[in-house]
Amino acid sequence: MGTLLTWLRRTSAIAVCLVAVLSPALAEVLSSVENRTHRVPGTTARAVVNHMLRHPFPGDHGGAFANIRPHYRLSLDVADRGRLCRVEDVGVSIRFVVTLPVAADRARMSGKVRSAWDDFAKFARLHEERHMQSYLSCARAFVAKARATTATTCGELRSEVRQMFSESKRSCEARQAPFDRQQSRAVRNLRLFNMAGY
């Protein structure tokens, strides 16, 4: 991407485990978050923004202000039911590894700069919370679809569900881009970047 949102891509500050159970015994989506930090030195808006641009976190799609990486695990049980093999139990667990920018010199910032930094951090957090919710929504949709899938043999069913899972992850990743483009204009209007001359 060619906008500042390239470096905001996939951030999150969610620090709780999200659990979404789709039915009492079947098909659950579980998630957990591992939080990490990326220290940003500087006491002025220009200093912190320049540092983030020159020393970005190595994200999945280039340099990033922060990053979220989903790590998936699929659980699947199938069984023969008459002439068809059906899904008995299916679940997805997602471990999100989240790296967030932390102002190394926040205590030495002026009140104005500190407030602008906090606004930026909040924007990034809310932006990436939306991404996380999107990933979870994709997983829930996959689970619902997988539960309804059948095949003539259990080997075929396992293969089909795993292929569906791979396709679900790819399509979910692709659906993040429109939201990023939508917010690319907003990030350029944040006070921190305006104060830094961007």
What integer is the mean pLDDT of 178-187? 81
pLDDT tens column, 19-29: 333 333 445 99
Mean pLDDT of the chain: 86
Model pTM above 0.75: yes
Taking the C-alpha atoms of residue 60 and residue 11, their distance in angstroms, rounded to an integer, is: 12
Q: Reply yes or no on whether the pLDDT at 104 is more than 80.
A: yes
Bigger pLDDT: 191 vs 68 = 191
Q: Where does the pLDDT of residue 102 fall: very low under 50, low under 70, confident under 90, or very high at 90 and above?
A: very high
Bigger pLDDT: 176 vs 146 = 146
Bigger pLDDT: 100 vs 32 = 32
What integer is the mean pLDDT of 10-24? 37
- What integer pLDDT is reported at residue 91 of this predicted model? 98
Taking the C-alpha atoms of residue 154 and residue 138, their distance in angstroms, rounded to an integer, is: 24
Q: Reply yes or no on whether the pLDDT at 98 is more than 80.
A: yes
pLDDT tens column, 35-51: 999 999 999 999 999 99
One-letter identity of residue 95:
R
What integer is the mean pLDDT of 110-128? 94
Taking the C-alpha atoms of residue 58 and residue 79, their distance in angstroms, rounded to an integer, is: 43
